[in-house]
Structure 1
């Protein structure tokens, strides 16, 4: 959250910096040391740092991602400021506000990919968010037993062995190719590799997620490619309060018109950690 303060006077150098960032201002400060707030008003001062949220996967192009729009609102009215903010920027925002203004009366509103959030310039708290549950989501994926598998099977070409492994997982509220998770949900991404069967066999394996209540979740995106059924990271959408899940990999090998249901490998996952704790320890940022 931003560092904030309310003051009755501003050093002239801070006031000049604010005026320089406001192309519509024609106020001349003259030869003064400080600027006084108007009667019945005070200055809300906030230092805002814009961090790169680095949603997974961090190297993907954000094809659907719109430029983040930022405005300052005082009691619902937009303040005429030039706010072109990009990751890495740190700026000082100053607004003249009524004395005793509530936190929700003076806000920095950000809109990213259709999602709106507000930070108070009075006390730095988040006063509104349509994705509030992302701040209560888990942050770590712990992979349990069975992450590697090896299964023998017979075909008309003789005995074969199929191997594979689940190498890890990530949690994120936003995936570039599909956008934000639904309200109350988060994306779980898992990385799976499998051995390519010898020609003329081909791998027709599938994957799904089983939740603690027995319900199943199918992948959000196409996972296959020329290198096999799990060429890409597999993304699932699951409730933000889920603490465990099981990845089910149904291993199916094709040969001509024959399909061999080899086995179902199950890999338990534990979802742990809390982004809320990280947010409290980090402080000073908006993303």
Structure 2
């Protein structure tokens, strides 16, 4: 069988916007079924991998879509060379592309977590890997911490970063005042902020705080310098520079995976100062 009949194709496509399906390729040698690929597609996609094993042009097309295609192609060729067929199983159908994408990723993660057999898919599918709940909590959870327990008496500037989980974590670039990246957590943490010049000169650390998840500390940098500039409304703002790494700085300050339960931002305020030496917290 090299493709679906017209009648089956019509059946699979009977719901507009729900033409996708999830499938797997199975190696049936040695009297056992062993899944070696999980994919999503529509139309005759499920047949294309086997065709590609013996069609160089189609193989090149699929390689551009999936960098692991050579592993799959070699497996198919080995199976066929021994005189066996590739079992093809439709796991679910009548899915939107978004539903198919999520389902494919879930199945790959499930398979990789519980099976010692390596799929010929990309190792992690298209998203995060499976993880035990205790490990998930240990890696991403936070423990309540008082600001008095922060391991420094230097002036700290705490700033709101409520969408921190969606931001890029790359720390290699040192952003200048007029070259900020709103999608990067380092750039967002270090500024530009409306602060007094006297305070800018005194700030030694900056903490990024996600107020949406219990005031969890999501970034921390030791300040190595600062610069100022004028924004579009004529206000003077300051951006800070740092040579430190966020995770290391959080550990030095004792705020790694910690939530500052007693830190309060004023109404409409996006920054707050922490000065343990004078036992003072303020927004100015």
TM over 0.5: no
Query: What's the TM-score once normalised by structure 1's chain length?
Result: 0.29
Query: What's the TM-score once normalised by structure 2's chain length?
Result: 0.29
As a proportion of its length, which structure holds more strand?
A: 1
Q: Using CA pairs below 8 Å that are at least 6 residues apart, which structure has the higher relative contact order?
A: 1
